[in-house]
Amino acid sequence: MSELKVSCFTISLDGFGAGPNQSLDNPMGEGAGALHTWFRGTRTFQRILGDESKGADGPDEDFAARGFENVGAWILGRNMFGPVRGPWPDDSWKGWWGDEPPYHVPVFVLTHHPRPPLEMKGGTTFHFVTDGIESAYAQARRAAKGKDMRLGGGVATVREFLQAGLVDEMHLAISPVVLGSGESLFAGLDLAALGFRCTEHVPTQSATHIVLRKD
């Protein structure tokens, strides 16, 4: 059955998925670069950059690779496509990901800025959804044709989908980093009441991987 999954979603040990003072130059906020050390070392990430020989295998890689398996559509919050602060760029803006984004499937971008679909090289088409998360979910589900949907972030978007009960599985990576402030994944969110429990726990030297599922 088609599920909505959050994968490789990385938080600090104090629960922040993005640091303070997000900006165009620093879209994940101060200190957040250190969150993703585990991911940058993986073969999957280095393959996206163009040379997988620079990446390593192991449990971190296993989780990175799983995040791309059987994904028929993505959903992204607005900030995962365009800059966090300042006016939305004009339609010449084609996302953070270059001419050939690493999605290779339909991607549904939540935004208040209507825009025609944007077809990129390699099978990625960005669709801009202006009528809310339920609509994005329904469109992504149709587009995924029985495969899973992956929800790519950011923090506010993940929280919104969790609260709406639309997320089936969440893989979290807890990095050994203190952010102190920024966007908290957990604040005010009762994951137990939402039905989640921990079904996998794989600690590595770089991160603690946790899989939460609703069953």
Interface positions with a copy of itself (CB under 8 A): 13-15, 31, 172, 174, 176-181, 184, 186-187, 189-194, 196-198, 201, 203-205, 208, 210, 212
Q: What is the smallest separation between the CB atom of 198 and a copy of itself, expressed in angstroms? A: 5
Q: What is the smallest separation between the CB atom of 149 and a copy of itself, expressed in angstroms? A: 22
Identify which of residues 98 and 180 has a Cβ nearer to a copy of itself in the complex. Answer: 180
Residue with tokens 């807890």: 174
Residue with tokens 């998360």: 133
User: In angstroms, rounded to a whole number, what is the distance separating the alpha carbons of residues 136 and 55?
Assistant: 33
User: In angstroms, rounded to a whole number, what is the distance separating the alpha carbons of residues 124 and 191?
Assistant: 32
> Sign (positive/negative) of CA torsion 92, 149, 156, 171?
negative
Q: What is the smallest separation between the CB atom of 154 and a copy of itself, expressed in angstroms? A: 18
Identify which of residues 98 and 203 has a Cβ nearer to a copy of itself in the complex. Answer: 203
Is the CB of residue 71 less than 8 Å from the CB of residue 148? yes
User: In angstroms, rounded to a whole number, what is the distance separating the alpha carbons of residues 142 and 149?
Assistant: 10
Q: What is the smallest separation between the CB atom of 129 and a copy of itself, expressed in angstroms? A: 29
Identify which of residues 45 and 196 has a Cβ nearer to a copy of itself in the complex. Answer: 196
Q: What is the smallest separation between the CB atom of 190 and a copy of itself, expressed in angstroms? A: 4
- Tell me 147's DSSP state: S
Identify which of residues 119 and 190 has a Cβ nearer to a copy of itself in the complex. Answer: 190
Identify which of residues 112 and 201 has a Cβ nearer to a copy of itself in the complex. Answer: 201
Please count the other Cβ atoms lying within 10 Å of the Cβ belonging to residue 11.
Answer: 25
